[in-house]
Amino acid sequence: KAGVTQTPRYLIKTRGQQVTLSCSPISGHRSVSWYQQTPGQGLQFLFEYFSETQRNKGNFPGRFSGRQFSNSRSEMNVSTLELGDSALYLCASSGLSNRGEQFFGPGTRLTVL
Amino acid sequence: GQNIDQPTEMTATEGAIVQINCTYQTSGFNGLFWYQQHAGEAPTFLSYNVLDGLEEKGRFSSFLSRSKGYSYLLLKELQMKDSASYLCAPGGGYQKVTFGIGTKLQVIP
């Protein structure tokens, strides 16, 4: 079974631009969560989608948004990028039978200049 | 909200035992996860405790006390490949998991 995939793996943008990141969960998994990871803050929860609906949301500004498609693939969008948005963005998927265990993708390294 | 406290760094010797503690204050607690993250890699699942007590899985064990808001991860027979960050993560419902900043463990010969 293929793991969680994320594209692109690396991205360089400038302040004010917007970016879209993509995540394909493990086949059969309907829950997709997004996290931001920085050295000082650790893993910060952004949001979680299940069956195309956002079920949970972290404490990030409205510039961070997401969506999930009918095939469970998910996208995350960040508008009006700021220098502080430079981070590793991880997505994780989980299935109903995994007791909440999350399987992480390799992440997208975003650098904002 | 969630408040998680774990040591930022620890060093232990190959072959030894190390215990990584985690205390948490949380609302809507369902269980507690431990994840391992090697530098430059994604986190991988180690354990999930729902009930109080110790759960053993090979060289790794995890303990939970719900009433005390306390958990620990015990690593036995340390190997060099165990050098990684260990993330304590209390979970609420619907995948609402909050990760601690992690404990960076260095295993030395």
CB under 8 Å to B87, separation ≥6 — which residues? A42, A43, B33, B34, B35, B36, B37, B43, B99, B100, B102, B103
Residue B92, both tokens: 């609420």
Give the confidence band of A98 by pLDDT, cuts at 50, 70, 90.
low
Q: Which of B48, B50, B101 lies at the smallest CB-CB distance from A101?
A: B48
Inter-chain touch A100–B31, beta carbons under 8 Å = yes
How much is the mean pLDDT over chain A? 93
Inter-chain touch A43–B31, beta carbons under 8 Å = no
How confident is the model over A47-56, as a mean pLDDT? Answer: 92
Rounded to a whole number, what is the distance in Å from the CA of A63 to chain B's nearest CA? 21
**Bridge partners for B34 per DSSP:** B47, B88
pLDDT computed for residue B59 by the predictor: 96
- Which residues of A are less than 8 Å from B31 in CB distance? 99-100
Q: Which one-letter amino acid corresponds to residue B18? A: V
How confident is the model over A52-70, as a mean pLDDT? Answer: 94
How confident is the model over A14-33, as a mean pLDDT? Answer: 96
Interface residue A106 vs chain B (CB under 8 A): yes
Give the confidence band of A86 by pLDDT, cuts at 50, 70, 90.
very high
User: Is the pLDDT score of A48 beyond 80?
Assistant: yes
Would you call A28 exposed, middle or buried from its count of C-beta atoms within 10 A (0-12, 13-18, 19+)?
A: exposed
Nearest to A21 by CA among A94, A71, A95, A87: A87
Helix (H) or strand (E) holding B10: strand B9-13
Give the confidence band of A37 by pLDDT, cuts at 50, 70, 90.
very high
User: Is the pLDDT score of A81 beyond 70?
Assistant: yes
pLDDT computed for residue B98 by the predictor: 84
CB B24 within 8 A of CB B16: no
Inter-chain touch A55–B94, beta carbons under 8 Å = yes
pLDDT computed for residue A110 by the predictor: 97
Write the CA distances from B8 to A8, A84, B43, B54, B100, integer angstroms.
30, 22, 17, 23, 10
Inter-chain touch B99–A45, beta carbons under 8 Å = yes
Q: How many CB atoms are closer than 10 A to CB B58?
A: 7
Interface residue A57 vs chain B (CB under 8 A): no
Residue A8, both tokens: 């692109």
Rounded to a whole number, what is the distance in Å from the CA of B36 to chain A's nearest CA? 11
Q: How many helices (H) and strands (E) does chain B have?
A: 0, 10
Dump pLDDT digits (tens) for B65-77: 999 999 999 999 9
Q: Which residue of A has its CA nearest to B102?
A: A42
pLDDT computed for residue B93 by the predictor: 61
Give the confidence band of A109 by pLDDT, cuts at 50, 70, 90.
very high
pLDDT means per 10 residues, chain B with 109 residues, are 87 97 86 93 92 94 95 97 96 74 95
Give the whole-angstrom CA distance, residue A75 versus residue A66.
Answer: 6
pLDDT computed for residue B1 by the predictor: 52
User: Is the pLDDT score of A93 beyond 70?
Assistant: yes
